[in-house]
């Protein structure tokens, strides 16, 4: 393992530019990086609002700037505020997270004469009708040959897809997301309180799904698959967690009533106790149509929950032989794969969960991720 020169690293300032600081995979990874790397000075700039993470960053001593950009003319003109902030901070490295930040942050960093720009690629495919993002991605593919020093990809699937799109493959470096195992330690009292809240007993078979409601996350596929599962095992419960997934969403309730059985579903909405929620799941399901590095799958693995996932992004690499894979966008195949786990004994599911947890700890620790970023920063400055 390459040695990090801590004295040298303390002289480095890295400015992170990200589209928003709402709850999401990129935002969570950025927070984990900054909170577990005490050698470098990190500064965070959100192109929009400071969302849910702004206060958390400030609480741990990280400076946060929110540009509140919009699509209006006045919003676009605020881009020059970014230039002013970068000139004032004068960082050695600017790291951008996701396409809009790669494009805008990368250009402004170069205008501000920042020596090193690091882009962050976190997806494989775009959701339908993301026309403006598709254009920006195409432009970034051209700029990748001249603008960034390095391009961090979180998944092998993302690397392959972006090379296909024309991104500079020679600049790509793989840094998988990292996780704190301690964050997933759950007390029995917490678990029992949640079971009571959701009216779940210790004997129930619970299939869980976590993610904001969107087409690319595939909740509609899981809802359709649930009908086939419930036809055979009507006692199975489906716990769905994420922004937009609650009982106030009448369209969602209507879809479940039409496609399945609403009484079998627990619509929990967006929550900040995901480890506790995962602790009451018998089976975790990732029904996505597209992913890069599916954070939530690794979180389920760390939580010692056996998993079924659509074969998207790096799901196959993350879980090895112990995550059961289904065809994307196929409710029938997804239901068959869920039934494989429903029909296993509790002990068999427990053993699967244990193997998945051991794999996650070995391959995706926060320490490994932070060390990889430190090697990247150190190498750039010394070059």
Q: What are the structural domain ranges in the chain?
A: 13-178+366-382, 181-364
**Residues 325-347: pLDDT tens digits?**
999 999 999 999 999 999 999 99
Average per-residue pLDDT for the chain = 93
The answer on pLDDT for 129 being more than 80 is no
Helix residue spans in the chain (DSSP H):
6-9, 25-36, 54-59, 73-77, 79-89, 99-111, 131-143, 156-165, 188-198, 219-232, 250-259, 274-279, 295-302, 315-319, 331-342, 346-363, 366-382
pLDDT in tens, 269-312: 999 899 999 999 999 999 999 888 898 999 999 999 999 999 99
Q: Where is average pLDDT lowest: 22-31, 69-78, 186-195, 285-294? A: 69-78
Q: Output the CATH code of domain 13-178+366-382.
A: 3.40.50.2000
State how far the Cα of 97 lies from the Cα of 48, in Å rounded to an integer. 13
Query: Could you tell me the pLDDT band of residue 206, with boundaries at 50, 70 and 90?
Result: very high
Q: Give pLDDT, residue 325.
A: 97
pLDDT class of 41 with cuts at 50, 70, 90: very high
Query: Does pLDDT of 38 surpass 90?
Result: no
Average pLDDT rounded to a whole number, residues 308-318: 93
77-81, 168-172, 175-179: lowest mean pLDDT where?
77-81
Percent of the chain with pLDDT strictly greater than 70: 97
Shared fold status for 13-178+366-382 and 181-364: yes
Q: What pLDDT does 72 receive?
A: 55
103 by Cβ neighbours in 10 Å (0-12 / 13-18 / 19+) ranks as buried
The arrangement of strands across the sheet holding 150-153 comes to: 63-66, 41-46, 13-18, 93-97, 116-121, 150-153, 172-174
Secondary structure (DSSP) of 166-233: T--GGGEEE----B-GGGG---HHHHHHHHHHHT--TT--EEEEES-S-TTTTHHHHHHHHHHHHHH-
Q: Can you give the pTM of this predicted structure?
A: 0.80
Predicted confidence band at 69 (pLDDT cuts at 50, 70, 90)? confident
Q: How far apart are CA 38 and CA 367, in angstroms?
A: 12
Whether the predicted pLDDT of 105 surpasses 60: yes
Q: Which CATH class is domain 181-364?
A: alpha beta
The more confident residue out of 219 and 202 is 219
Is a pLDDT exceeding 90 seen at residue 220? yes
Look at residue 9 in the predicted model and tell me its pLDDT.
86
Mean pLDDT on 214-230: 96
- pLDDT exceeding 90 applies to what percent of the chain? 79
pLDDT of residue 1: 62
Pick the residue with more confidence: 79 or 248? 248
pLDDT band at 70 (very low <50, low <70, confident <90, very high): confident
């Amino acid at each position: 393992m390459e040695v990090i020169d801590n004295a040298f690293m303390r002289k480095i300032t890295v400015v992170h530019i990200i589209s928003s600081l709402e709850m999401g995979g990129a935002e969570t990874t950025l927070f984990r990086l900054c909170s577990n790397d005490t050698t470098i000075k990190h500064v965070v700039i959100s192109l929009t609002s400071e969302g849910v993470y702004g206060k958390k960053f400030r609480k741990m001593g990280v400076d946060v700037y929110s540009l509140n950009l919009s699509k209006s003319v006045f919003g676009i003109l605020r881009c020059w505020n970014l230039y002013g902030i970068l000139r004032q901070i004068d960082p050695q490295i600017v790291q951008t997270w996701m396409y809009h930040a790669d494009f805008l942050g990368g250009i402004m960093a170069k205008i501000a004469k920042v020596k090193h720009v690091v882009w962050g690629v976190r997806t494989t495919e775009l959701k339908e009708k993301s026309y403006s993002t598709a254009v920006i991605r195409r432009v970034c593919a051209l700029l990748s040959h001249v603008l960034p020093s390095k391009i961090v990809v979180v998944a092998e699937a993302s690397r392959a897809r972006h090379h296909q799109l024309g991104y500079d493959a020679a600049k790509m470096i793989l840094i998988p997301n990292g996780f704190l195992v301690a964050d997933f330690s759950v007390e029995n009292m917490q678990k029992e309180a949640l079971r009571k809240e959701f009216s779940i007993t210790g004997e129930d078979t619970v299939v869980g799904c976590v993610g904001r409601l969107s087409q690319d996350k595939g909740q509609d596929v899981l809802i359709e698959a649930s009908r086939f599962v419930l036809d055979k095992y009507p006692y199975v419960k489906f716990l769905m967690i994420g922004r937009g997934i609650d009982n106030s969403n009448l369209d969602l309730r209507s879809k479940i009533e039409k496609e399945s059985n609403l009484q079998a579903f627990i619509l929990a909405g967006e929550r900040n106790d995901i480890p506790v929620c995962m602790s009451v799941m018998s089976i975790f399901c990732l029904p996505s149509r597209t992913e890069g590095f599916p954070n939530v799958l690794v979180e389920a693995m760390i939580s010692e929950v056996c998993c079924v996932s659509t074969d998207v992004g790096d799901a196959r690499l993350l879980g090895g032989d112990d995550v059961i894979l289904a065809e994307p966008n196929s409710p029938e195949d997804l239901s068959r794969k869920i039934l494989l786990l429903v029909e296993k004994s509790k002990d068999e599911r427990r053993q699967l969960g244990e193997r998945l947890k051991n794999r996650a700890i070995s391959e995706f620790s926060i320490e490994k991720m932070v060390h990889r970023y430190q090697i990247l920063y150190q190498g750039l400055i010394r070059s």
